[in-house]
Amino acid sequence: MHKEKLWHCISHAHAARILKKIAVKGDVVLVKGSRGMKMENVVEKFKSKK
């Protein structure tokens, strides 16, 4: 995988901001992580209009 397609995120909000910048209509986004990482927070922030 090319380095320009990899991101290191420091928070759920950071990951959501990056997704909002790069995802386009029709994309499928897989969010994977342990339950302890609470990745559902990334999804909620990504889905929000803010």
pLDDT digits 0-9 by tens, 5-45: 899 999 999 999 999 999 999 999 999 988 899 999 999 99
Q: Where are the domains of the chain?
A: 3-47
Rounded Cα distance, 39 and 30, in Å: 11
The predicted pLDDT at position 49 comes to 81
The predicted pLDDT at position 45 comes to 96
| pLDDT at residue 1 greater than cutoff 90 | no
Q: Work out the angle at residue 12's Cα, subtended by the Cα atoms of residues 41 and 49, and round it to the nearest 5 degrees.
A: 65
The residue with tokens 């803010």 is 50
The predicted pLDDT at position 4 comes to 87
